[in-house]
Structure 1
Amino acid sequence: MTMKDWLRKHPEVRTIRVAAADLNGQARGKRIPARFAENVVKSGTRFPFSVLNLDIWGEDIDDSPLVFEQGDADGVLKPTERGFMPMPWLEAPTALLPIWMFRENGTPYEGDPRHALRAVVDRYKARGLTPVCAVELEFFLIDDSGKTMQVPASPRSGKRRKAAETLSIRALDAFDTFFTDLYDACEAMDIPADTSTSETGLGQFEVNLMHSDDALRAADDAWLFKMLVKGLARRHGFAASFMAKPYPEYSGSGLHTHFSVLDEKGDNIFDSGGPKGSAALRHAVAGCLNAMHDSTLIFAPHQNSYERLVPDKHAPTAIAWGYENRTAAIRIPAGNPAARRIEHRVAGGDVNPYLMLAAILGAALTGIEDAQEPPAPITGNAYAMDLPQIPPNWEAAIDAFEHSDVLYRFLPKELIRNLVLTKRQELHYIAELSPEERVELYLDTV
């Protein structure tokens, strides 16, 4: 179905939103009457390049060359291949049209995170390879109506369960109305939501999205899912948050990525026929490990992110890999050898999915191209071992990202510069906020 056909099939839609993801994963765009939507489909829309490089408050970056130095010039934003979809969290029938940014001459804008992922996927295609990705998204349901955050009261019982509910069917049933609406909305938006579980945090849940051999679509799904969950929760009278760690005493939320790589015949190049995986798997693991320290800023992009990355709280802190080992940053799950894959466990729920997949897949391909070999896989508790560590705080991660050599192998220079400027500005101003103000900032934004 063409985009024009979609609009004709949904005459009830009176307005549309056109939106692109900025570096923080925030949706930036416009509201347009539906009768003018075909103009956007045909010609695109325009807004400044700097809009994809705003800080977490939506403010210009003070020393960005995109603003005054370049006259705050416009980019041209065109629809992605995703096309129109409903926005089930809004009261009025409304459609969302995802867009991405190009220069006036039609070339992709390198500061657009979706184009960063596209460039990585193109490198795979040039080698006759196709990455297959799936993501697991954790989030908290939160009653933020009072002075302190707490788990929402169950719509069924009116009670609050102030305890961890790991894999609890009761916790899922308590919010069955919300999850039923969520899965219906995913169906309407063509987001492949699969299993949902109750997690270890207070009011924490996880939803897995099905694997896709289109990495751009997998990132789209994750970005749209985060938008949907947050919007739909508000319709149900509470908040949903993907912030890395809203409660100091509970584990935080991750966004784990599983990926394998297919060759031109459709065969998994990580499959060795046995449990250990192939040489290509080891090379990809090595690439991920070698880039992990410098790319941590993408996996942990906010001040709150580093409150999750602490020992013994179900988030990795050591740069290591292992088979069936969830204390390691890279886990190789067991199972059918034909489905052998890598699980990358560093990212928090607060990431930009486009940048996350660009960093993971780009690092893995660098390892494959160079035939890099990883250290020996660990066994046992990674927290108790003397291993290389990811940056311990936000400022160290910004420094590592800015001065990295390896990241230029798979991320555009302009994007690296823009992200560093963004994070240095945020680092400066967040230092002025109280812990309560920081939680309030991140609760709805990330």
Structure 2
Amino acid sequence: MSGNAMKSWLRKNPQVRTIRVAAADLNGQPRGKRVPVRFADKVVESGTRFPVSVLNLDIWGEDIDDSPLVFESGDRDGVLLPTERGFLPMPWLEAPTALLPIWMFREDGRPYEGDPRHALRAVLDRYKAKGLTPVVAVELEFYLIDDSGRSLQVPVSERSGKRRKAAETMSIRALDSFDQFFTDLYDACEEMDIPADTAISEAGLGQFEINLMHSEDALRAADDAWLFKWLVKGLARRHGFAASFMAKPYDDYAGSGLHTHFSVLDENGDNIFDDGGETGTEVLRHAIGGCLDAMADSALIFAPHHNSYDRLVPEAHAPTGICWAYENRTAAVRVPSGDARARRIEHRVAGGDVNPYLMLAVILGAAMNGMEDAIEPPAPITGNAYALDLPRIPVTWVGAMDAFEGSDHIRRIFAPEMIRNFLLTKRQEAHYMEELTETERVEIYLDTV
């Protein structure tokens, strides 16, 4: 959306009273400002400014203690400019409000490499330079939760007034129990131009999944996922309960994932993973090889929080072994069956608590590494991956940090500043999380991630 188009949008929506300008920090938290609508033109034309360190806050919104972005550099400003998305309504707020997504640049106009949206853009530039275009779709799992009491539980049904304490996989009744919420959610997605597709109930207590349609603009797909998480959480509060994408809110039920499907088109619009059959091309295997090679080192992106590792346990509907397979959901990387023209990779490791920009950057970056290096993966597995002797995804937060820090794969995907900032953030969070009880950890993650 051009500057003139943004101004035109505001003129066509005179009901808008205030504006939010917001960028995603490393944890995917929206950081920004509230702006009176009469000053909107200034933001559209010149952007806004706030400290570079704001994109490198911890999960509590605190500065990183030893970050060079704070006192060492004088806590200097970055320049935040509107993304191409332009203005969007914020249907979960009471007053008519518009959101203007922004991203950070340096004073001289260069992208700020510690901005997660720029991290994804840099990976996509590698594809563009080769005449390639990733086509991306995501599936987001989340829980609806009544957090008003001493313990978490499924909310009371908006239709029956009853609280059904049972997991109901693929249950229409479970969806209908929260019909007004889902109706409002789909209406809001239409308003925000988020391509929400199918909804299902999942295996957990009050757990649901919504798929977002595939997009040939991976940056927009990440925007959609980021905005969708924000929308779901905000709209749930309007309905009197919480929605959470935290990886594992209940010990006894499955965690929430954020699965990514992707294929790659060449300059002619042909899918380079499609060989006309069921197995896919050599390039498909090389992309899988790259994903598997970088998987252990990428775990800190896929599982960025203390609670994330409660999800990555055997036989809990989340992958633990580094492997791939055709049409097998116990594998970390799955090649779905179906029309060969849509041959694609499904990457199943990430939790719902990830930053979508960093998640897509590391998946697509690893796949590109594999294609560039012609990495051959091991043979696809068959049967139950949990029962096989496989190399493992890191099982601890600290182990994931160490793998991330020492990785050549990660250095090919992310800029040094991004790697440094993300590690400083996670190490600080790990330090302070050790001082909290499990209840306190759940409280902070419930609303943030």
- TM-score exceeds 0.5: yes
Q: Which residue of 2 aligns with 1:155?
A: 158
Q: Deviations over 1:271-325 (max 9, x none)?
A: 0110000001000000000000001000000000000000000000000000001
Match of 2:219 in 1: 216
Q: Which amino acid aligns with 1:276?
A: T
Q: 2:72 aligns with which of 46, 50, 69?
A: 69
Shift of 1:410: 1.2
Q: 350, 353, 366: which is aligned to 2:369?
A: 366
How many angstroms apart in 2 are the aligned matches of 1:102 and 1:39?
17
TM alignment of 1:177-196, pairs within 5 A: 177-196=180-199
1:271 alignment partner in structure 2:
274
Cα deviation, residue 118, structure 1: 0.3
Query: Which consecutive unaligned segments of at least 5 residues does structure 1 have?
Result: none
Matched, 1:383 2:386: yes
Please give the alpha-carbon distance, in whole angstroms, between the structure 2 residues aligned to 1:33 and 1:113: 27
Which residue among 403, 407, 420 is the counterpart of 2:406?
A: 403
One-letter code of the match for 2:349?
V
TM-fit CA distance, 1:19: 0.1
Aligned-partner SS, 1:354: helix
Cα displacement (A) at 1:164: 0.6
Q: CA deviation at 1:424?
A: 0.2
Q: 1: CA distance between counterparts of 2:58 and 2:410?
A: 22
TM-superposition CA deviations, 1:357-398 (whole Å, max 9, x none): 000000000101111100000001111111000001101001
CA drift of 1:161 comes to: 1.1
- Distance, in Å, in 2 between the alignment partners of 1:288 and 1:149 is 36
> Is 1:250 matched with 2:253?
yes
Q: 1:259 aligns with which of 250, 257, 262?
A: 262
> Which residue in the other structure is 1:354 paired with?
357
Find the aligned partners of 1:305 and 1:37 in 2 and give their Cα distance: 39
Q: Equivalent residue for 1:146?
A: 149
Deviations 1:23-60 (CA, angstroms, capped at 9, x unpaired): 00000000000010110000010000100000000000
Q: Does 1:427 align with 2:430?
A: yes
Residue aligned with 2:292, SS: helix
Aligned equivalent of 1:416, options 419, 427, 434: 419
Task: Compute the TM-score of the two structures, normalised by the length of structure 1.
Answer: 1.00
User: Residue 115 of structure 1: CA displacement?
Assistant: 0.1
* Pair 1:176-2:179 in alignment: yes
Alignment match, 1:312: 315
Give how far 1:403 is off: 1.1
Q: Secondary structure at the match of 2:71?
A: coil
Q: Tell me the CA shift for residue 406 of structure 1.
A: 1.2
Choose which of 422, 432, 440 in structure 2 pairs with 1:437. Answer: 440
CA distance in 2, matches of 1:375, 1:245: 30
Residue equivalent to 2:131: 128
Corresponding letter in the other structure for 1:326 = R
Is 1:167 aligned to residue 170 of structure 2? Answer: yes
Distance 1:412 1:202 in 2: 40
Residues 404-425 of structure 1: per-residue CA shift (max 9 Å, x gap): 1111111111000000000000
Distance 2:410 2:445 in 1: 27
Instruction: Normalising by structure 2, report the TM-score.
Output: 0.99
Q: Residue 285 of structure 1: which of 285, 288, 292 is its match? A: 288
Amino acid at match of 2:335: I
Using the alignment, how far apart are the partners of 1:290 and 1:46 within structure 2? 39
1:24 alignment partner, one of 22, 27, 35: 27
The answer for the alignment partner of 2:100 in structure 1 is 97
Secondary structure of the corresponding residue to residue 398 of structure 2: helix
Task: In structure 2, give the amino acid aligned to 1:432.
Answer: E
Q: What letter corresponds to residue 295 of structure 2 in structure 1?
A: M
Instruction: State the number of aligned residues.
Output: 446
In structure 2, which of residues 343, 353, 361 is the aligned counterpart of residue 340 of structure 1? 343
- The letter for the 1-side match of 2:101 is P
Structure 2 match to 1:238: 241
The residue aligned with 1:55 is 58
Partners of 1:5 and 1:408 lie apart in 2 by 42
In structure 2, C-alpha distance between the alignment counterparts of 1:161 and 1:285, rounded to whole Å = 41
Offset of residue 5 of structure 1:
0.3
* Identical residues among aligned pairs (%): 79
Q: CA deviation at 1:8?
A: 0.4
Find the residue that maps to 1:418 and give its secondary structure.
helix
- Residue type of the alignment partner of 2:354: V
- Paired with 2:299 and 2:233, the residues of 1 have a C-alpha distance of 25
Whole-angstrom CA distance in 1 between matches of 2:136 and 2:100: 23
Gaps in structure 2 of 5+ consecutive residues: none
Q: Which residue is 2:204 aligned to?
A: 201
- SS of 1:211's equivalent? strand
- Report the aligned-residue RMSD: 0.5
Amino acid at match of 2:353: D
Distance 2:413 2:143 in 1: 32
